[in-house]
Amino acid sequence: MYRTRTIHGFHAMICDGKPKESCGLFGVYGINDAAPLIYQGLFSLQHRGQEGAGVVVSDGSKIRSHKGFGLVGDVFAEKSFDDLPGHIGIGHVRYSTTGSSRIQNVQPLVAECADGIWAIAHNGNLVNAGDLRRMYQESGAIFQTSSDSEVLIHLLADPMYRNRPRRVERALSEMKGAFSFLLMTKDSIMAARDPHGFRPLSIGRLKDGYIITSETCALPLIGAEFVRDITPGELVTIDKNGVHSSTFAEPGTPLAQCIFEHIYFAHPDSLLFGKNVHMVRSRYGKRLAEEYPVDADIVIAVPDSGNSAALGYSRHSEIPLDLGFIRNHYVGRTFIMPEDHQRKKSVDIKLAVLPEVVKGKRVIAIDDSIVRGNTASKRISYLREAGAREVHFRISCPPIKYPCFYGIDFPTKKELVASSKSIEDIRRMLGADSLGYISLEGLLSPFENKDDFCTACFTGRYPVEVADDQCKKMLEHY
């Protein structure tokens, strides 16, 4: 049943410290040398997680795996793909979380159940994982990780599900929250999206085989063709008999696709929830120009996720676009560094200002979001130090006031600058001459069905109730 819930005054870490990661998934079925293909696919999804990566492959009889901390290239630098033979495989890039930076949590997770080995990889965050975990622990189960994803292995291994038809669907239907899953046995892969469709997951075709990917941007780079998105609440199984589809969603479950994927997370060349990300972001820029026009000399982007919106703003306002910031591409995305001290340090070396471009100019700077405010205030001060006469900051999402329970890492209300400050207070804190956030209406304007999206971090209307006892206690407490 669909329920919304406004959670006010939430002020604490959620569940076991922070919500679990939003990550990248890549799977292959029916293509020889699956491992190097998964490696390439994970490279294309690197923007979805930089803390760790892993690959599990099967040659039809034996399952092998390799995983580690760091970027995909680092994890596989010393690894020969000859050690990972097989035509079936799944891979994962991990988005960082505090308190869970343990190698055991790097996915895919692999476990031996009574009926063989299963591997799983997860993107999203389960809001009832704590309850499920306690239930299994009380009956004697031992967990190897602190990841919410592991509960799926316990559900699959549970004789109550194991010996019954539609076992995987039944297990998936026990889970609440946001999940796109890849599962693998020695001779099949399965892909599933939660009934609300929070996180993306798509199917592609390459030769006689199949690809599953979190984002379609990974497909052309390996010569694969996009086939379709996995439908919310659908389980797709691929094995020697072909592709089978089944559903585990309750009829009438409303969609709640994460709009933040379009704002920030996804790659511009991905087709996400039916729309190209770059085109959506440039419409956000146009909309910002309509909602917050200002006299200025140049428009600049805060790269990279502000690029498309800056183009849209410039085109609509007819104020020239220029390169005010140059990004160092060898520094990870600030937002997804695991610890706050890493975030602060990385901000300092990530962007360089071009004084030749901004000096003496009235500058409109377009960014995708303001979360904590520390990065935005630094960027504005860099522009001023470089001689910008005025700095007008435009943000292609509404003020983020509420934590996300579904896998995006802005976990505490107190860390969100817009949760306690007015827009005018934020403008003053940042040192901008003006500040404009896109309206919620503008955010949803590129889409025909505006109710198909989760906007909880802006509105506090949570599409899936936080069911976990521990979360509830914390909500009551704060």
The residues binding ligand SF4 (CB under 6 A) are 198, 258-260, 404, 406, 408, 454-457
Determine the Cα–Cα distance for residues 20 and 13; give it in Å rounded to an integer: 12
Distance CA 421, CA 419 (A): 6
Count CB atoms within 10 A of the CB of residue 113. 14
The residue among 237 and 270 lying less far from ligand SF4, judged by its C-beta, is 270
Structure tokens given for 305 = 């996720």
Number of helices and strands (H, E) in the chain?
16, 24
* Tokens found for residue 214: 């979190």
Q: Is the peptide bond before 108 cis (omega within 30 degrees of 0)?
A: yes
In sequence order, the β-bridge partners of residue 243 are 238
- Rank residues 63 and 259 by Cβ distance to ligand SF4 and give the closer one: 259
The least CB distance from residue 406 to ligand SF4, in Å, is: 4
In the complex, minimum distance from the CB of residue 414 to ligand SF4, in angstroms, rounded to a whole number: 17
Block residue for tokens 């399952």: 63
As beta bridge partners, residue 91 has 26, 55
Q: Supply the minimum distance, in Å, between the C-beta of residue 419 and ligand SF4.
A: 13
8 Å CB contact between 54 and 91: yes
Q: What are phi and psi of 390, to 5 degrees?
A: -135, 150
To the nearest whole angstrom, how small is the minimum distance from the Cβ of residue 258 to ligand SF4? 3
Q: Which residues contact 140 (CB under 8 A, 6 or more apart)?
A: none
Strands 52-58 and 63-69: antiparallel
Residues contacting 327, CB < 8 A, separation 6+: 303, 304, 350, 351, 352
Q: Looking at this protein, which amino acid is placed at residue 227?
A: V
Of 20 and 67, the one with the shorter C-beta distance to ligand SF4 is: 20
**Which residue spans within 116-176 are E strands per DSSP?**
116-126
Catalytic (active site) residue 23: yes
Instruction: Determine the residue type at 28.
Output: V
Q: How far is the CB of 393 from ligand SF4 (least distance, A)?
A: 21
In the complex, the smallest distance separating the C-beta of residue 175 from ligand SF4, rounded to whole angstroms, is 16
Catalytic residue positions, numbered: 23
